[in-house]
A and B are shown apart, each in its own frame.
Chain A
Amino acid sequence: MTHEPVSMETPTSPTRPNIPLASVPGSASMPAVGTTLIDIQNVDFYYSASKALHGITLQIPEKQVTAFIGPSGCGKSTLLRCFNRMNDLIDGTRVDSGSIRIRGVDIYRRDVDVIELRKRVGMVFQKSNPFPKSIYENIIYGLRLQGVKDKSRLDEVVEKSLRGAALWDEVKDRLHTSGLSLSGGQQQRLCIARTIAVEPEIILMDEPCSALDPIATAKVEELIHELKMKYTIVIVTHNMQQAARCSDRTAFFYLGKLIEYSPTRTIFMNPENPQTEAYVSGRFG
């Protein structure tokens, strides 16, 4: 069976006017906040013979922060990495059944351009991982890959991205020093700036603050709060209070199953499932 090639680019892309996976932020066609952006239906996932996710179904709303919580090994990071097909890089992994759709497009269709998908769905990792290059070069790395050479455009993106990541004021006078010279918290915000430089629609964050001190954590959380005006954010965290502070909706996973998915207020104030209550109260996990 063949499909039409599916582009992950925005409708404004001059090169590929294909089926849009994403619309331009702020465009008139943008659905209202709260509409489903990522639709996960009955997903089973395997690491070789080991089943890591069991029939996961949930809908992630646009321009909100969704937190995934649960004890280690519960599958939350695995699911997160499904959204930009990062798991494809691990041998023997497979989404065995079900579907993950972003704006209605099944991202596991064989003709989906994975590179384009990863541009639309950026990722920030637990440990900050700036390239061993200057701050400036870190930010424009993605654009350089796309062949952008216009200096004034690159300058503009660097400033906009660093401002967007609340880092501009701290680094504007040393843009050409190494990204590795920054503090841990600044490096993590540099990675966020690098992620937003390619204007993704979704930002996945896998324990983005677990290696940061409380001040750097507060800055990243503040940033998450600001970023959700423009982006849809999915964050995996072991810090329950972080999920409570930052997210609009929270999903609790246990042993590869989605136990409860509700507004964050409900999860922390009046969860339906006793397992969720035990976990958020620190009674197990």
Chain B
Amino acid sequence: MKRFFDAELETFRSRLILMGETAIRQVRDAVKALVEADIGLADRVIAADDELDMLEVQIDDEAVRYMNLRAPVATELRMVIVGMKASHDLERVGDEATSIAKRSVRLSAEPPLKPYVDIPRMAGMALEMLRDALDCFLNGDSEKALSVCRRDAEVDQINKQLYRELTSYMIEKPGTISRALELMFISKSIERIADHATNIAEEMIYLAKGKVVRHTDEVKKSSISSTSQH
């Protein structure tokens, strides 16, 4: 039986998907701006952050309204709760993309410290995690969501490796400190993006199964140590 307010939930869902797509585009463009030293693209990323902020506010507003007036239960209630939490994570992903874009503008003024290999690779992994987490929202595939959680440790590992490498640069050549620090923060931003993707994936498991997997062995299983040093 269709209810007269079903369209509201559909709009809510579509808005979250739009927010996910926008966040993915922001991260991809920010990293591209870094690698290609494209200041124009970086500026567009910085300007577009408002879109994500607005979407988050709209999603919050719609979720509160829906809970207040429609008294959802079961899957619907989980959908609204998960939507609110995921939109918060996506807004933070946008903030990290903006941070990468700002740093790429500053880095573009100097020659690259080293060829950008690890950072695009790491960003590719984080983006894939985000994409998979959002796919789980679309098709309820909680197995895929679980794999996102487990992949987080690999991104953490690259971040640590970059941290060690960039620290060596700074010790050996103090003239590289400002560039190395910018890259270190960028690496950290990507690592945070993967963390947000993990949060979203965990929420999607909750949505699909009604089961909380955050901070459980289930999501840590078969992952390498994910303790962050920074």
Contacts and interface: CB of A to CB of B under 8 A. Distances in A.
Interface of A: 240-241, 244, 268-271, 277-278, 280-284
Contact of B74 (A241, A268, A284): A268
A284 B76 CA distance: 15
Interface in B141-199: none
A241 B77 CA distance: 14
A158 B71 CA distance: 40
B75 interface: yes
A280 B3 contact: no
A284 to B, nearest CB: 5
A170 B104 CA distance: 74
Contact of A281 (B73, B209, B211): B73
Nearest to B210: A270
Interface of A is mostly: helix
A116 B97 CA distance: 74
B76 A281 contact: yes
Interface in B41-79: 71-78
Given A269-B78, A269-B210, A281-B75, 12 more contacts: A241-B71, A244-B73, A268-B73, A268-B77, A269-B73, A269-B77, A271-B74, A277-B75, A280-B73, A281-B72, A281-B73, A283-B1
Interface string B1-27: 111000000000000000000000000
Interface of B is mostly: loop
Contacts of A270: 74, 78, 209-211
B1 A284 contact: yes
A283 B3 contact: yes
24 contacts: A240-B73, A241-B71, A244-B73, A268-B73, A268-B74, A268-B77, A269-B74, A269-B77, A269-B78, A269-B210, A270-B74, A270-B209, A270-B210, A270-B211, A277-B75, A280-B73, A280-B74, A281-B72, A281-B75, A282-B3, A283-B1, A283-B2, A283-B3, A284-B1
A270 B76 CA distance: 10
A249 B113 CA distance: 64
Contacts of A282: 3
Nearest to B209: A270
Contacts of A277: 74-75
Nearest to B211: A270
Nearest to B74: A277
Contacts of A283: 1-3
Contacts of A271: 74
Residue among B2, B3, B74, B77 with most chain A CB within 10 A: B74
Residue among B71, B73, B77 with most chain A CB within 10 A: B73
A284 B3 CA distance: 9
Nearest to B206: A270
Contacts of A268: 73-74, 77
A281 B77 CA distance: 9
A282 B1 CA distance: 8
Contacts of A284: 1
Closest 5 CB pairs of A and B: A270-B210, A268-B73, A284-B1, A277-B74, A280-B73
A262 to B, nearest CB: 12
Nearest to A284: B1
